[in-house]
Amino acid sequence: MNFLDFQQVQKKPRAALALVTLLALCGCLHDDTDASHELASQGIFSGALSSDGAFSLVGSLNHGASLWRNPDHERLYDWNHQAGEYSTLTAAAFSPDGTRAATADPRTLVLWDTGTGQSLGYWATPGSVMSLAVLNQGRAVLMGLEDHSAVLFDPTNGAHLRTFLHQAVVGSVAASTDGTLAFTGSDDETAVLWDLNTGESLHRFECGNPVRQVALSATGRYAFTAAQGAAVTLWDATSGTRLADLHDRNPGVTSARFAFDESTLLIGFVNRTVELWDTRSHRRIQRWNAGARDPWRPTGAAILAVGYDARTGAFLALAGDGRLVELRRI
């Protein structure tokens, strides 16, 4: 399979892919939020939270991308891929240390410095970008692509490092904190754990249906998969064995993240709910409803990203209606 070369670009990106708005059922649970803060007036297509919960990165419906500082809810920078135009982001991600962030429209990748707000480079991608993971302080970016591959890219040298092949769209990617492992989920009904140093597959997880979300814990001890209409599963990534099905049938997982100490797992759903699971006992600790922006006129608010606030101990959720939601353990 041939791939286009990465190239620095300054021209206008190709038109964005049509994105499907996820609609959520309402009224199933009461509002369990401690606080919520508006980050986008009309909702967001995509979003990411930094590993310490200090930053939110959102791709809004009407105003392109923006970086927010969560403690004081201040918008720091507006990030768009073309001057004078609002970019429609298909994916966004932070480096583990939060100093770098990557954004993608369907065919353009941009790396940003979160301290200065400056772009560190623009590149045309070899396929439509579905998902992102940023490794090693931004020295590598992993992209899940519509062309049935995941690509590891070196922004410093503009080098295409490795290609990881599937048999269908790669819709979700994740990486270990040390940048040695990658986890890819595909519509070919598999998720694969890869050694980034050798390019070899370590374990292939058969999920029975197209894989919609994957997550990998910091050291690569645990892996998580959510397949469409199939089980939502916690795996031992070291041995490749199934630890537990957290849900026998996927109720609409839209995001997932392990705690840095790997003791818990947060899962976000299409119906505005968030769950906290214990990775050792495989028991659900708590479930929250992120509520609606306007309780009198509720709209869809899929949880597009979840995270842990290292400063306050709260749990965070980015809702599709444009809110950052703070949740606390009871």
Lowest mean pLDDT among 11-20, 178-187, 284-293: 11-20
- Please give the pLDDT value at position 34: 76
Band (pLDDT 50/70/90 cuts) for residue 294 is low
The string of pLDDT tens digits covering residues 205-218 is 999 999 999 999 99
Q: What is the pTM of this model?
A: 0.89
Q: Which residues pair with 92 in a beta bridge?
A: 103
Place of tokens 């214990």: 278
The residues near 193 (Cβ < 8 Å, ≥ 6 apart) are 181, 182, 183, 201, 202, 203, 204, 205, 216, 220, 223, 237, 240
Minimum mean pLDDT range among 10-14, 34-38, 58-62: 10-14
CB contact at 8 A, 112 and 101? yes
* Cα–Cα distance measured from residue 123 to residue 115, given in angstroms and rounded to the nearest whole number: 21
Tell me what pLDDT residue 164 has: 98
What is the average pLDDT score of the chain? 89
pLDDT above 90: percentage of residues in the chain: 79
Residues 6+ apart with CB under 8 A from 78: 63, 64, 65, 66
The average pLDDT across 32-61 equals 91
* pLDDT on residue 249: 95
Q: Is the pLDDT of residue 8 over 60?
A: no
Tens-digit pLDDT profile for residues 232-243:
999 999 999 999
Span 112-127, pLDDT tens digits: 999 999 999 999 999 9
At 83, is the pLDDT very low, low, confident or very high (cuts 50, 70, 90)? Answer: confident
Distance of CA 296 to the CA centre of its chain: 30
Phi-psi region at 295: left, alpha or beta (left = phi > 0; alpha = psi -120 to 50):
alpha
Q: Is the pLDDT of residue 17 over 70?
A: no
Mean pLDDT of 77-93: 91
Residue 298: pLDDT above 70?
no
Query: Per-residue pLDDT averaged across 269-290, rounded?
Result: 96
What is the model's pLDDT at position 20? 33
Position 42 confidence tier, pLDDT thresholds 50, 70, 90: confident
| pLDDT in the model for residue 64 | 86
For 328, the token pair is 């606390």
Q: Say yes or no to pLDDT of 23 above 70.
A: no
Lowest mean pLDDT among 27-31, 53-57, 79-83, 180-184: 27-31
Mean pLDDT over 142-154 rounds to: 98
Q: Is pLDDT of 46 > 90?
A: yes
Model pLDDT for residues 300-322, shown as the tens digit of each residue: 689 999 999 999 999 999 999 99
Provide the β-strand partners of residue 214.
225
C-alpha 323/C-alpha 37 separation (Å) is 5
Pick the residue with more confidence: 324 or 295? 324
- Backbone dihedral angles phi then psi of residue 87, each to the nearest 5 degrees: -85, 145
